[in-house]
Amino acid sequence: MSSFSEIINQDRPVLVDFYAEWCGPCKTMAPILKQVKEALGELVAVIKIDVDKNQNLAAKYQVRGVPTLMVYKNGQQLWRQSGVVQASELITLLKTHT
């Protein structure tokens, strides 16, 4: 399995979803992320990080609330937002970085 730093160092946008199993809004994000991936396909990578299973990573990236979404490209954080974000907004955002 690739390390987180390897994943976010891709030359395509990587949408990272920090979530928790017990989080209601996180469950809302799941079909939205699926829709984004279906719309953009191989242009983007979408990964989900369970904050309960990856507490060190969540702490390193100062994730204090879930869901927290981040977009990386070539290791650089381009965008970050907590809470539910609509698919159309994410698709528009990611297209600007492809």
pLDDT digits (tens, 9 = 90+) for 47-97: 999 999 999 999 999 999 999 999 999 999 999 999 999 999 999 999 999
Half-sphere exposure of 2 (CA within 13 A, CB side): 8
Active-site residue (options: 15, 16, 20, 26):
26
Domains defined for the chain, CATH in brackets: 4-95 (3.40.30.10)
**Residue 30 falls in the annotated catalytic set:** no
pTM across the whole model: 0.95
Among 4, 12, 23, 47, which one carries the catalytic annotation? 23
Q: What are the pLDDT digits (tens) for 15-38?
A: 999 999 999 999 999 999 999 999
Q: Does the annotation mark 26 as catalytic?
A: yes
Separation of alpha carbons 63 and 52, rounded Å: 11
